[in-house]
Every structure is written in C-alpha cells, then in structure tokens.
Amino acid sequence: MHHVLIVEDEQKIARFVSLELEHEGYKTTVIGDGREAYESAVAYDYDLIILDVMLPSLNGIEILRRLRQVKDTPVIILTARDQIVDKVAGLDIGANDYITKPFAIEELLARIRANIRKKTHVYEIGKLRIDTSSHIATYDGEMLVLTKKEFDLLVYLIENRNKVISREQALVTVWGYDFVGSTNVVDVYIRYLRAKIDDKYGINLIETVRGFGYVIR
Ligand code: CA
C-alpha cells in the first residue's frame, strides 16, 4: 500500500484529501505544521508527499529545498491560483508536479498515480530480483514470465515483507475495492506464483500462515 504524506494546515482540505485517498486505497498521514512535516518526510519513506506552500513554522518551498538535499520522494505542491511564483520556485527546486487550489479531487488523484508510478524500486530476496519500474522479475538472472496480477501480488507481498498479508488485504490492494468475487482468487494466484517460482526453483518463498494469509520473509 502506498503511503502519502499530506502537508496542509487547512484542516478541511487536509481531511477531505485524506478521506479521498484512503477511499482509493492509499495510507495517509496528515501534518499541518511545516517543521514537523519536514522531520517526518526525512524520517519516513513516504511514497509521495502533497505539499502546501503556506504553512506555519516552515513554508512548503523551504521544506522541499531541504528535503531535496537528502531525498527524492515524489512531491506535488499545492499552490494558490495567484501564486505563480510558488509554482516556478517549487519546480525549480525539485517538485515533481504542482496543482493549484481550488482543485478537483480527480485531478489530484490522477497526478498522484502518475507520480507514484515514476518511482523505481528494485527488490532483491536471495536470487529473486524485481524491478517495479520495468516490471521485470528474474530468478538467478532468468526472466520470470508473470501476468500483471501475479506481478502485482508478488510486489505487494515483498513490499510488506515479514508481515502476514490476509486474503482481504491482498484482494483490496491488488484487485481493487470494486472487484466482485471471492478471496479465493488470491489463493489461486498464490498457486500460480508458487508454480512459477517456489516449485520451479525448489525454494520456499511464499509461506502460508494458516487462518491468516501469506507472508514472504
Ligand atoms: Ca496553507
């Protein structure tokens, strides 16, 4: 699950954005104070940050400038319609995107999806290597032929390494809230993955935790 930090001191906007994002399956954290937001952005690996400019204690531009010295977390800045200067300054110092207030939530969601996708992640577990930007999975250098759902499920388990994932969690994240069908589909895809990885290479990658779900350690 992608974790989005919402830095916004107007509580009404923050709550609205947070609810919408959680409805879309994101995990969110809301912080209204600039300095606190900067510290949190450095301390945690957020998948994306929505950053308001006018904030108490430290403004958004300054947060971004400092953050870019240590991290490349995708940042979308929120600017008021009349503050073109903020937009230019933000992009200059490394914002990935901007959106002007007031904004349509669909537009913000689209920007979030586009910017999260750009983030590259390479996971390595033993001889298994997964590149989420190119969607390539290999085992000991050999390409694994996975369908999109198999790939997404594998990545979800790996992103949550050492945590037991329930069928319901996997279903919501990989298939989406609007998927109509039973959680058995998760078991079916786990079997596909095991056939292509565990069985093929004689390893025990995906463990079943009876009564709970699945885990990769
Ligand atoms: Ca503000």
Question: What pLDDT, on the 0 to 100 scale, is given for residue 195?
Answer: 98
Question: What pLDDT, on the 0 to 100 scale, is given for residue 134?
Answer: 81
Contact by Cβ (8 Å): 198, 191: no
Tell me, in angstroms, the distance from the centre of ligand 1 to residue 8's CA: 6
Q: At 143, is the secondary structure helix, strand, or coil? A: strand
For residues 31 and 9, give the distance between their C-alpha atoms in angstroms, rounded to a whole number. Answer: 7
For residues 160 and 198, give the distance between their C-alpha atoms in angstroms, rounded to a whole number. Answer: 18
Q: What is the pLDDT of residues 36-74, one digit of tens each?
A: 999 999 999 899 999 999 999 999 999 999 999 888 899
Question: What pLDDT, on the 0 to 100 scale, is given for residue 117?
Answer: 66
Q: What is the pLDDT of residues 107-121, one digit of tens each?
A: 999 899 888 866 667
For residues 7 and 55, give the distance between their C-alpha atoms in angstroms, rounded to a whole number. Answer: 8
If one counts every other C-beta atom within 10 angstroms of the C-beta of residue 1, the result is 13
CATH architecture for residues 121-216: Orthogonal Bundle (1.10)
Tell me, in angstroms, the distance from the centre of ligand 1 to residue 105's CA: 17
Question: What pLDDT, on the 0 to 100 scale, is given for residue 119?
Answer: 61
For residues 83 and 99, give the distance between their C-alpha atoms in angstroms, rounded to a whole number. Answer: 11
Residue of 123, 133, 145, 131 lying closest to 197 (CA atoms) = 145
Question: What pLDDT, on the 0 to 100 scale, is given for residue 90?
Answer: 76
Q: For the chain, how are helix, strand and coil distributed in percent, rounded to 5?
A: 40, 25, 35
Ranges of the chain whose pLDDT falls below 50? none
Tell me, in angstroms, the distance from the centre of ligand 1 to residue 32's CA: 8
Count Cβ atoms within 10 A of the Cβ of residue 212 and give its class: 0-12 exposed, 13-18 middle, 19 or more buried: exposed
Tell me, in angstroms, the distance from the centre of ligand 1 to residue 194's CA: 49
CATH number belonging to domain 3-118: 3.40.50.2300
| Domain boundaries along the sequence of the chain | 3-118, 121-216
Residue of 74, 215, 199, 212 lying closest to 153 (CA atoms) = 215
Q: At 81, is the secondary structure helix, strand, or coil? A: coil
Question: What pLDDT, on the 0 to 100 scale, is given for residue 118?
Answer: 62
Tell me, in angstroms, the distance from the centre of ligand 1 to residue 70's CA: 24
Tell me, in angstroms, the distance from the centre of ligand 1 to residue 31's CA: 11
